[in-house]
Chain A
Amino acid sequence: MTAPAATRWQQTAGRTPAAVELRGVSRHYGGKHAQVRALDDVSVAFAQGSWTAVMGPSGSGKSTLLHCAAGLERVSAGQVLLGEHDLTAADDAELTALRRSEIGFVFQSFNLIASLTAEQNVTLPLKLAGQRVSAKAVRQVLASVGLDERRRHRPRELSGGQQQRVAIARAMVTRPRVLFADEPTGALDSTSARQVLRLLREMVDGVGQTIVMVTHDPAAAASADSVMFLSDGRIVDHARAPSAAEVAERLARLEG
């Protein structure tokens, strides 16, 4: 049943131009004896302007999928296309350039630089890219995540939800083509989580941001446009705009 599900998924996603596309991607870890197939011949296209949630049991390859799609991890086989760029063929300089302009990341552990203020964290990608930083634009981005007031605070002086919103602002400040988020609400309480999800929804609806988000939380997955399910490194199911209960039920079937 897995193969038809994957094919069907590809077809449905293929109607609008893809922001990111994986073609037959596999990723293996380990040596000859104890090999782990974290991703096993995965083909998927994420349409421009869509918000896709990736779900699956622990160890099913969700993070690996995200890392491969974002060019953070080398693939063992297959191809990753980000618009017109082939990530699997890109060298480090090209990947760096893409990280500056086309790709944004948000992770469960917020990964802010502890020594920099919220504002400095947000402007860092622009500075690294050698771009002039307009104070107004930065304040705008911070305001859009509701943190204009706290811009001079350092990460440890912010709550988890606030730190995650700083991380989102940092990811968005370069106006990336795709935002990759790995359990962005995983470390947050439900109120902060809802706030973050609302923020992501605004970005999708407002500027047509493409988002690929790994999550364990059915409620978070239900905020996305569609949900795909991974198991043992393969895409096994998908659902378009499901309810949280529906997601939970499908996930239970996978894990059971």
Chain B
Amino acid sequence: MLRLSWSTFRERWQLFIGAIVTVCLGVALVQSSLLILVTAATSGLVEAIALLAITLGVSTFLAVFIVSSTFAFTVAQRRRDLALLRLVGAGRGQVRRLLLSEALLLGVLGTASGVPLGLVAMDVQTSLLTSLGFVPPDFAARWRDWILGVSAGVGVGVALAGVLAASRRAGRVRPLDALRDTGEGARVMTGARWFFGLLFLAGTVALVTVSAFVGPEGAIPLTINAALTASVALSALSPLVVPLVGRLLGLLLRGSTLGTLAQANLRDGVRRSASTAAPLLVLVALLVGQTGVLASIDRASVHEQRRDLAGDLVVTSTGPGAAGLESVPGVAVAAERLRVPMTVTTRTVDDGEVETETEDFDAAVVDPAAYAQTYRRAPEAGSLADLRGDTVAVGSGRYPLGAELEAGIGGRTVTLRVAAVLPQTMGGGEEILLPPGLVPDPVASAATAETIVRVEPGADTSDVAEAIGARGLGEVSTLDEWITASASRQQDTSSGIMTVVLGLSGLYALIAVVNAVVIAAAERRREFAVARVSGLSRGQVVRMALVESWAVTAVGLLLGGVAAAGTLAGIAGATARISGVATVVVPWELLGLTVAGALLVVGGTNVWTTLAATRSRPVALVGAGE
């Protein structure tokens, strides 16, 4: 039987190479993300772990999604050949075994090439991480032997899983379908598609709803998950949309023969169109959705800071300087935040063993009274008035009021009681507030101080700023400038996160898009030949296929856009709840680029494959009765 696969391979190499490529890249991506995560976790890079875990999650999802949909697609594309096998006596089991052993072989080949490629991917990812500052420059992910098992499991397991359902369907193909030249024979909207489509749709709705009720740290992974489930749901249901887009296309190109033909082809090739649109859908959902989510959070935190901070100027200096500022004429309040690093060690007893975990914080030493005068929101619990002596105020959701924390400040260990819990914010808020007196002097005088200054009523802000500058008390900016500057730093971090999470994964999805276009065209040589003997020129065939592929691109973009919109709806809910105003940033520029890029990439690939498929003289193919 595998001899048959081998000769099929020579005939339809695009399908098999396409399948191997998806496995290879998927394995490489998952392996590299996992090795980096494990290395980061064992070397205690707690900060980076969440980001790396998200990266691993997205890579794994994409690998499973793309490999299984590509494998199912290649099986669907061979429907006629498989029907022919059935006609000459192949049983259902034989067809299934053939497909499964092929999947096994392709999975093994993909894994074998994916493992070394994974090492390259690991270098690329590591240098991304170090250059963006998420891990220290000397970070080096380590190879682990067990990863081979994981990679093989991902490559072979996912390939087999992808073919499992498709092969069962292929086994049921009717021998008579071998006699039908075109058309898909089978119903595209299978029960399984309805089931998984609706199930994942419900899951998406649940995730979007929940993401409105968690803090910004929780909202990011939740909306990513929502984008992923929405992608699964919408690509399962996409066969419902393809004919609609086809009809729209027919309306747009009314009267043109090519338009009519393209519309008919869309109607006839629903399965093919849906499979081509799938990777594009995920790419758009993740890229546009997540960029929008991060930008929305950033904007909401800017809104929030503008609303909550009461001040006119911000002075940045080294070491405590509030006293000096207060003596400047026109200054009403100078609320200093002295930034010092601090650790909190927690001990949990697990099975009789004590496990300690140390978390790093960026604490701010404040004068509670002055702080309260420049920050408009009251604590969620406790009172800032109690912030004195061995106490601490913590950000929302970290530690309960009254908890005793083992804190490390400037090399000393002290036990601090939580005196207040700060209100929940979109990200601009403080992690930890300390009262004065806990930080040793040498540490304090080396720390950076940001002091929010309120000028007296009637005093001119710029005069006060000039006076502060003249006395050399630090760098002065207006509060608004300061908020904008910190927002743009935050945006850099956000785009860094996007690059790490979606850089290689996005590339993978893009390659999968190209791959799907190539696989789709591989089966159409005969169809194109028939079109040409019916009087279409080669150029017309190419244009017809191009129009059609753009319609498919539109389906992918549209559904990806819907999925992205779903995730943005989640973040709108979260920002509304936390900051009081629903804030949604639609990344129009990126959206425009994505649309243009997708049309270009899909269109370009399509023209290339159609030209290749129409290279031979049409009679040769039509006459062959293949």
Contacts and interface: CB of A to CB of B under 8 A. Distances in A.
Interface of A: 67, 72-73, 92-93, 96, 99-100, 105, 107, 109-116, 120, 124-125, 127-129, 155-156, 160, 163, 170, 174, 187
Contact of B84 (A93, A100, A111, A163): A111
Q: How large is the interface on B (under 10, 10 to 19, 20 to 34, 35 or more residues)?
A: 20 to 34
B179 A111 contact: yes
B12 interface: yes
A19 B624 CA distance: 33
B8 A72 contact: no
Contacts of B8: 115
Interface in B570-626: 620, 623-626
Interface stretch (B85-93, B154-162, B196-204): B85-93
A39 B2 CA distance: 40
Contact of B89 (A107, A115, A129): A129
A160 B4 contact: no
Interface in B132-180: 174-176, 178-179
A156 B624 contact: yes
Given A72-B87, A99-B88, 19 more contacts: A72-B175, A92-B92, A96-B86, A96-B92, A99-B86, A100-B89, A111-B84, A111-B87, A114-B624, A115-B4, A124-B88, A125-B88, A127-B1, A128-B89, A128-B94, A155-B624, A156-B624, A170-B88, A174-B89
B474 to A, nearest CB: 77
Contacts of B176: 67, 72-73
A170 B3 CA distance: 18
Contacts, number: 79
A120 B7 contact: yes
A110 B87 CA distance: 12
Contact of B87 (A93, A99, A129): A99
Chain B contact residues: helix, strand, loop or mixed: helix
A93 to B, nearest CB: 7
Nearest to B174: A72
Contacts of A105: 87-88
A33 to B, nearest CB: 20
19 contacts: A93-B91, A93-B92, A100-B89, A109-B179, A111-B84, A111-B178, A111-B179, A111-B625, A113-B4, A113-B85, A114-B11, A115-B4, A115-B7, A115-B8, A115-B10, A116-B4, A128-B88, A155-B625, A163-B624
B85 A128 contact: yes
B181 interface: yes
B527 interface: no
Given A115-B7, A116-B4, A109 B181 contact: yes
A99 B620 contact: no
Contacts of B184: none
A156 B4 contact: no
B11 A96 contact: no
A92 B626 CA distance: 26
B11 A115 contact: yes
A113 B624 contact: no
Contacts of B10: 115
B81 interface: yes
Nearest to A174: B89
Contact of A114 (B94, B174, B179, B626): B626
B175 A99 contact: yes
